[in-house]
């Protein structure tokens, strides 16, 4: 897809539809949105990894205390 990206604007009063290329402000906003999303995605993934590590650590400690896998699963 090499065509220029567009915005479609639908006027609810007249029914007029305008399909036009993104203007410079919209391109800048889109780039800012992409950067924001990447940062938030990294934050979410780090949080998930942290939770997974804490869970594995807790399960290892429970195993060391003598709990079976079934008993550990029952605690979830």
Q: Which residues bind other proteins (CB under 8 A)?
A: 1, 3-15, 17-19, 22, 26, 29-30, 33, 36-37, 40, 44, 48
Smallest separation, CB 46 to other proteins (Å): 13
State the Cα–Cα distance between residues 44 and 50, nearest whole angstrom: 10
- Phi and psi at residue 2, to the nearest 5°: -110, -5
Taken in order 18, 20, 24, 25, is the CA torsion positive or negative? positive
Q: Which is nearer to other proteins, 35 or 60 (CB)?
A: 35
Smallest distance from other proteins to CB 14, Å: 8
């Amino acid at each position: 897809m090499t065509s220029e990206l567009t915005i479609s604007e639908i006027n609810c009063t007249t029914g007029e539809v305008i399909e036009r290329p993104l203007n410079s402000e919209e391109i800048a906003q889109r780039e800012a949105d992409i950067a924001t999303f990447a940062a938030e995605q990294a934050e979410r993934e780090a949080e998930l990894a942290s939770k997974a590590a804490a869970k594995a650590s807790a399960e290892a400690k429970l195993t060391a205390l003598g709990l079976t896998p079934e008993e550990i699963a029952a605690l979830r």
